[in-house]
Structure 1
Amino acid sequence: MIPSTLPKPPKFPTTREQIHLSQQLHSNSINRHYRPRQFTPTKLSKTPKIRENHLHSLQPRHFETRPSTLTKPPKYPTKPPKNTKQNHNSLKLHTTSIAKKPKTLKPIEQKNPHSLQFYPASIAKFPKPLNPRSLPLHSKNPTTIYKDIKTLSRKQKLKQALTVLDYATKFGIPINPTAFSSLITACTMAKDLQAGRHAHAHLRASGLADNEFLRVRLVRMYAACGAPEDARTLLSLLPLSTPHAWNALLRGAVVRGGRRMQDALALLPQMLKAGASPDEYTLTSLIKVCAGAPALGQGVRLHAHAVKSGWAECRFVLTALMDLYFKCGNVMLACKVFDEIGDRDLVAWCAMVAGFAHNGLRREALGVFRAMQFDGAVVPNSAAITMVLPICGDMVALRLGKEVHGFAIRRVGYAQQEFVKAGLIDMYCKCADMGSARRVFYGHKERGLVMWTALMSGYARTAAPIQALRALSWMQQEGLRPDLVALMTALPVCAKLNALRPGKELHAYALRQGFFPNVSLTTALMVLYSQCGTPRTAHLLFESMERRSVVVWTVMAGSYMDNGQPEEALAVFRAMHRSSHRPDSVAMARALEVCGVSGHEILGREAHAQVLKKALESVPFVSKALINMYGKCNQVGLAKLVFETLSSKGLITWTAIIEAHGVNERYGEAMQLFGRMEFEGLRPNKFTFGVVLSMCDRAGLASEALRFFESMTKKYGLGASAEDCERMVGLMNRVGSINEAQRFERLRLALG
């Protein structure tokens, strides 16, 4: 018999509600072990309200993992607060913070290595394309938001900066004028009119539309982005008696660039009429506009105005005039202006170095760099070094480049700058010293995007295109994302290798990164697809472009031409002629080539008339295209007439007239023309000898071919190519000279 003092055995739950209630009791009994004592368990009188994200606590596997947390219970503060009056309240606040853990900002998975980690979840509701999940907005603190906008604007991340601005407007956070100024300046440099209008709308909503400083910034932004009407509307709201607003309008024209010089120069009379006197910034902006045109006559008039108004002794004005004369090709006037500068600073010396290099006077540029060091008053900085290094590379002056490298090492900190390192890599690659280029590259742990791009360009230049594509892959393995310059470096490599699949991958990457629309990138992709034999894809890219330049039209026509479709190429040229674009010298030369290959003599004559109308007959490659066109159309007389009417005959035109006679089987006259060219003192190159040897091969002239080959290798010291040797092997086999054929075959195998 069971004693009455013993407890009764527990009843096991049978219904679903009882099972649920027992599980909840068991969970609460466990929670008492690790929760603080002041917490009371959940009352069982009501059905517990269970959240969706806590449903996993009711699963059996939850109790298997819970005992591991019981071994180390959390530590809670035991000391009472200092203020005894607020003891109860502070304890209550403390326990509330423990009971309900605050919603911390969880790190978002980083798909973009350049993005920051934290961002409020409320911004995730914003629509695309302004995706703010990767933006560095940490709180609603206005100071932090100002810094974020300035940082993003300085990095040219306009979409992210505008997203932060939208967030601030949504929550009523005011934006100060400095942040707006940074954002408007970034829109000006990026020439992004849509982003500028977006920032202007926020500025109006913030009540800063009457700020004169920001209005001046907006005038410059609209002028730079190609909205002169909006710029003039804002200009009318500013005081026109001072030059500040006018300078902003002129500065915007300088940033915009292009050849709309007359619009900028027309502002000077209006400015004088309004009572504003031009200062040094006004004259500098106008001179830069003339330099970008370039317009020498207008620049000389501005020089006279500067002398008349007393600004001829200002260093800023004189340096701008020097740059103008160099870009207009008048080196003597530039040197005279340089001599008039009394106290020459580093900017004036660097302008002289850049001006000589721009006009192809590389030795004079190096001489100015040496004179700068001997002057003693000015010490070359990293900018001057980056100007000199490309000159050494273009001259293939390895020794001078090493001297500049040593100078950069002696100057503390110069050799550690990324642009200097990239310039050194580029210089060594141009001098075919890839060992030194790799030592510079791998000698630094921190390798930026500029250095990787310089190494890729060097590999592509030194006949190692596969290494260039590998460098692109290695760059991404180090966590760097290729930018637009890196893509523009890699796409010609893919075109050279006929690597269609890597080219498509780069195309997809550019789409994902939002690099379109970009005329240069689209043109490079069109060249890639053309070289890979898919002109249809190039045509689709051509049709998708909103703005087409003359270069794009020429590339599209060349794409059809390279793929054996001259009729489609002619249709492209007809469409370009009907459009607002007018062919330049390159487009006319390409059109003449198309007419020659397709045999359209009438269209070739029309293109010849356009060349005469545009006065392009003196351009060497245009005259060569004319001669070749008439030669391929069996009009040797007209080809010779074009040749004889040329004022200056260079090696290109001599080679073209020899080839025209060879195509029409006038081999004797072609030989006489070659002798006449040598008599006039012109030195034939490998292309000229290639034309002559090809002509001898078609005509079966073995003895003349041997004579030209010996003259090429011994008299002129030109190396024979494998193609020349193969041509000689075929010719000697046809005429029965087996020994000579074997000799040229051995030479061809040696050349590889």
Structure 2
Amino acid sequence: MNYPAIISVSKLSNWVTRIKDSSFNGRWQEVLSLHNDLNKSGVQLTQPSLFHLIIKACSATSSTHGKTLHASVIKLGVDSCTSIGNSIMDFYSKAGLMDSACSFFHGMKIRDSVSWNILISGHISRGDFDRGVSSFIQARATGFEPNVSSLVLVIQTVHKLGMLDEGQKLHGYMIKTGFLSISSVQNSVLCMYANLEMEYAQKLFDEMSNRDVIAWSVMISGYVKSDKAHVALGIFREMMLSNFRREVDGQTVVSALKACANLKDHIAGRTLHGFILHKGFDNDLFIGNSLIDMYAKWNDLDSVLQAWKDMPIRNSVSWNSFLSGLVCNGKHSEAINLFSSMQKSEIEPDAVTLVNLLQVCKHLADPCICKCIHTVVLRKNHELNELIINTLIDVYAKCQLISFAQKMFDSMKIRDTVSWSTMIAAFTNCGLPKEAIEVFNEMIQAQEKPNAVTILNLIEACSYYSELKIPKSVHGIAIRLGLATETIVGTAILDMYSSYGDIMTSKKAFHQIINKNVISFSAMITACGMNGLPRDALCLLTEMKTCGIQPNSITLLSVLSACSHGGLINEGLSLFQTLIKSQEVKPSLEHYSCLVDLLSRGGKLDLAMELVDQLAKGANVGASAWGALLSGCRTSCTGNDDIREKVVERVLEFEPNNSSGYMLASNTYAARGLWAAAARFRAMVKDRQVKVVAGYSMVHVNNASCKFIAGDRNQFLLKEIHDIVDELHRCMKMENIQVN
């Protein structure tokens, strides 16, 4: 009578043994299969330890059978067992059913540290970082300790959320509990600080008695990301001199290469390249891509090509890095050829590829190529990529296809500040300032806050207006947004007023700039020079040095130009000699050309000619110096005929297809009353079919600027102009009658 029961017990024992064995060896699918066979046999499972194993198998295989097991656990009344409850929670968490996991957790009569760790890890793994950190804080309040894996997850979450204060509290907690002695925890805290505050990371790194290669790599990478590449390179050198030289890995090398690239440290970069070859890292794809990026930033395309050839395998990043290097170095035709090779290699272009190609289009201003790339954008479903769309708008504007640019802008569902600023720049580039300002007004109505780039684009649009009403409005907007005090915006504003001849307001804009730099000082010096205030320009140079700002090559050009136009010949020569002797600025051919202009305008043609002859011995002087000398011949009352003849010959030799040289030569002879010679040079323009750039005037009509080109027979506004001229004549006659 009892024999079948004995058989059932025997079978159950066999099943239990097999389930435990399969579980121990990680054969989770086999565990579920055995449990299924057990159910079919009619033998009921009652051992709590087996429930734990089977639920774990459900978690590992993402099987929905866990819900059925949960019901069985409740039916058998073993759901109060904490270990089984933790297994059920873990199942729901890994299945992505966090609401069910939380509900079960809150219903548990007894919770342990494992329960809390499952809850914390579940929230963080599902991307609910706030609830994960909140659960961790609750666990600490109830006295439960996290395990190492949960603690590392919380640290990573804190640095993702940028919660520096909470991170410091965590740090203190780990010191108190002894968790900080664990290497993985210590490195996680170091990584958190490296992403939030490098000063704290450095302090922790200095306190670490047992550093591993990960700690060194975190510090090097952290300083590179913080734009302190020189510090990163110093730490890498320290690592190479330590016992960790042999443990340097690919990630550390990649960070060091980025530091070399940012610093443009050719010696360190090439030395590191040699170390890479010595260690056999040249087969590492990431290192190969970093080498290409480094040499591209150095404009060393030969080394880029060699690094490219040395790569055994390449991915899309490799192609994009090479392509970007060609684009940045102005090798646009080579970039297009590389893209063709990329297509032949069946490498799919991504967003980075397309943006690089669009930069080529912007330079070439070729509408056909732009439209072809646009079709690729549509085919690859990149039409929602904001970077690509913004670049397309910019490129269409550069190709003078403003209607296409506007269509792209109108099709955007979500517009940010970059999108609005790009469209404003597009209209400005196409000579449509009114439309640019209308877009800005729409931007304000859409409650999108303008940034510095937006204001700079508006200032550019102001250059089309012949009166200061619109520019002053833009200045007011910049002041209200708090941008007028920024260096780049303030400099653009002072330059804008300078171009209108309003030097007083230009000076006010300059004084509003909080952090003046060499660019803002140079712009103000140029403004003074353009508006006949050479003495003020020299005073600004003195003030600049007093502020501890060293002049650069542009500053020297600005001062020399101011002295030249203001007739301060001796001051200009003295300044040039002082800066050259002090080696503050290394003079270029452009500086010497400006010095020739200074001497020529001052009537010192013999000295100017002597300087040009000396320059010609060492280098190709170029047309600018000869042109300045010729201009001096035209204005000088004591011109030397031999010098004039030689200079005219040189100017036409250097720029035979430039009409300005012929016109200047003609005017030079005309100033001497040599009308036959003057007419001869004008005839040469026609004989040699040199294209003449006509002069034009900007006139403000009906709140818009109109350009009137010399010799243009266009009937645009012809009647209005005649009416204005007739009115002027009438007023002049009336004035003449009153005087008489």
Give the structure 2 partner of residue 182 of structure 1.
160
TM-score by length of 2: 0.66
- Separation in 2, partners of 1:246, 1:506: 50
Give the structure 1 partner of residue 498 of structure 2.
530
- Separation in 1, partners of 2:229, 2:715: 54
Give secondary structure in 1 for the equivalent of 2:711: helix
Residue 573 of structure 2, aligned match among 585, 605, 609: 605
Residue 526 of structure 2, aligned match among 542, 553, 558: 558
The change in CA–CA distance for 1:318 and 1:456 in structure 2 (over 3 A counts) is same
Give the structure 2 partner of residue 415 of structure 1.
383
Q: Deviations over 1:568-619 (max 9, x none)?
A: 1111112223443222211111121122223333332233232466496663
Cα distance, 1:454 vs. partner?
Answer: 2.3
- Separation in 1, partners of 2:356, 2:267: 29
Percent identity of paired positions between Structure 1 and Structure 2: 19
User: Structure 1 residue 324 and structure 2 residue 294: aligned?
Assistant: yes
- Using the TM superposition, name which of 583-592 and 247-256 deviates more: 247-256
The change in CA–CA distance for 1:469 and 1:693 in structure 2 (over 3 A counts) is farther
User: Structure 1 residue 281 and structure 2 residue 256: aligned?
Assistant: no
Give the structure 2 partner of residue 37 of structure 1.
none
Cα distance, 1:321 vs. partner?
Answer: 1.9
Cα distance, 1:526 vs. partner?
Answer: 2.8
List alignment gaps of at least 5 residues for structure 1: 1-142, 152-164, 185-198, 725-743
Give the structure 1 partner of residue 649 of structure 2.
675
Cα distance, 1:542 vs. partner?
Answer: 4.0
Task: Give yes or no for contact 1:526–1:541 (8 Å, CA) kept in 2.
Answer: yes
Task: Give yes or no for contact 1:408–1:414 (8 Å, CA) kept in 2.
Answer: yes
Q: Deviations over 1:22-59 (max 9, x none)?
A: xxxxxxxxxxxxxxxxxxxxxxxxxxxxxxxxxxxxxx
One-letter amino acid of the counterpart of residue 389, structure 2: K
User: Structure 1 residue 216 and structure 2 residue 191: aligned?
Assistant: yes
Cα distance, 1:320 vs. partner?
Answer: 2.0
The change in CA–CA distance for 1:205 and 1:330 in structure 2 (over 3 A counts) is closer
One-letter amino acid of the counterpart of residue 640, structure 1: M
Cα distance, 1:341 vs. partner?
Answer: 1.3
Alignment of 1:23-42 (within 5 A): none
Give the structure 2 partner of residue 242 of structure 1.
212
User: Structure 1 residue 631 and structure 2 residue 600: aligned?
Assistant: yes
Give the structure 1 partner of residue 629 of structure 2.
657
User: Structure 1 residue 482 and structure 2 residue 450: aligned?
Assistant: yes
- Separation in 2, partners of 1:641, 1:209: 78
The change in CA–CA distance for 1:280 and 1:706 in structure 2 (over 3 A counts) is farther
The change in CA–CA distance for 1:538 and 1:723 in structure 2 (over 3 A counts) is closer
Give secondary structure in 2 for the equivalent of 1:497: coil
- Separation in 2, partners of 1:248, 1:327: 23
- Separation in 2, partners of 1:329, 1:604: 36
- Separation in 2, partners of 1:560, 1:417: 45
Alignment of 1:695-714 (within 5 A): 695-696=668-669, 698-712=671-685
User: Structure 1 residue 720 and structure 2 residue 693: aligned?
Assistant: yes
Alignment of 1:133-532 (within 5 A): 177-178=155-156, 180-184=158-162, 200-201=164-165, 203-205=167-169, 212=186, 213-223=188-198, 232-238=202-208, 241-257=211-227, 262-276=230-244, 277-376=247-346, 378-411=347-380, 413-444=381-412, 446-495=414-463, 497=465, 500-510=468-478, 512-513=480-481, 518-532=486-500
The change in CA–CA distance for 1:694 and 1:482 in structure 2 (over 3 A counts) is farther
- Separation in 1, partners of 2:410, 2:400: 17
- Separation in 2, partners of 1:602, 1:619: 20
The two structures, once aligned, show a CA RMSD in angstroms of: 4.0
- Separation in 1, partners of 2:457, 2:128: 32
One-letter amino acid of the counterpart of residue 292, structure 1: N
Task: Give yes or no for contact 2:293–2:325 (8 Å, CA) kept in 1.
Answer: yes
Cα distance, 1:367 vs. partner?
Answer: 1.0
- Using the TM superposition, name which of 402-411 and 337-346 deviates more: 402-411
- Separation in 2, partners of 1:394, 1:300: 32
Give the structure 2 partner of residue 577 of structure 1.
545
The change in CA–CA distance for 1:596 and 1:677 in structure 2 (over 3 A counts) is closer
Q: Deviations over 1:433-487 (max 9, x none)?
A: 2233233333455554433322221222222223222221133334433233222
Q: Deviations over 1:214-254 (max 9, x none)?
A: 4333235445xxx6xx5532321346632334334333443
- Using the TM superposition, name which of 275-284 and 206-215 deviates more: 206-215
- Separation in 1, partners of 2:484, 2:155: 31
- Separation in 1, partners of 2:252, 2:467: 51
Cα distance, 1:537 vs. partner?
Answer: 4.6
- Separation in 1, partners of 2:712, 2:196: 62
- Using the TM superposition, name which of 696-705 and 400-409 deviates more: 696-705
Task: Give yes or no for contact 2:696–2:710 (8 Å, CA) kept in 1.
Answer: no
Cα distance, 1:418 vs. partner?
Answer: 2.4
Q: Deviations over 1:84-104 (max 9, x none)?
A: xxxxxxxxxxxxxxxxxxxxx
One-letter amino acid of the counterpart of residue 433, structure 2: P
- Separation in 2, partners of 1:745, 1:503: 25
One-letter amino acid of the counterpart of residue 194, structure 2: V
- Separation in 1, partners of 2:626, 2:172: 68
One-letter amino acid of the counterpart of residue 400, structure 1: I
Cα distance, 1:150 vs. partner?
Answer: 8.3
Task: Give yes or no for contact 1:386–1:420 (8 Å, CA) kept in 2.
Answer: yes
Give secondary structure in 2 for the equivalent of 1:648: coil
Give the structure 2 partner of residue 50 of structure 1.
none
Q: Deviations over 1:41-81 (max 9, x none)?
A: xxxxxxxxxxxxxxxxxxxxxxxxxxxxxxxxxxxxxxxxx
One-letter amino acid of the counterpart of residue 688, structure 2: K
Task: Give yes or no for contact 1:639–1:657 (8 Å, CA) kept in 2.
Answer: yes
- Separation in 2, partners of 1:488, 1:306: 45
Alignment of 1:19-168 (within 5 A): none
Task: Give yes or no for contact 1:353–1:387 (8 Å, CA) kept in 2.
Answer: yes
The change in CA–CA distance for 1:497 and 1:298 in structure 2 (over 3 A counts) is farther
Q: Deviations over 1:247-281 (max 9, x none)?
A: 34333443344xx7654432223223443343323
- Separation in 2, partners of 1:515, 1:280: 43
- Separation in 1, partners of 2:387, 2:620: 42
- Separation in 1, partners of 2:248, 2:384: 42
- Separation in 1, partners of 2:499, 2:299: 36
The change in CA–CA distance for 1:244 and 1:746 in structure 2 (over 3 A counts) is closer
Cα distance, 1:502 vs. partner?
Answer: 4.3
Task: Give yes or no for contact 1:601–1:633 (8 Å, CA) kept in 2.
Answer: yes
The change in CA–CA distance for 1:678 and 1:450 in structure 2 (over 3 A counts) is same
- Separation in 1, partners of 2:586, 2:598: 14
One-letter amino acid of the counterpart of residue 391, structure 1: V
- Separation in 2, partners of 1:351, 1:713: 49
One-letter amino acid of the counterpart of residue 711, structure 2: L
Alignment of 1:591-602 (within 5 A): 591-602=559-570
Cα distance, 1:335 vs. partner?
Answer: 0.6
One-letter amino acid of the counterpart of residue 382, structure 2: Y
One-letter amino acid of the counterpart of residue 672, structure 1: K
More helix by share: 2
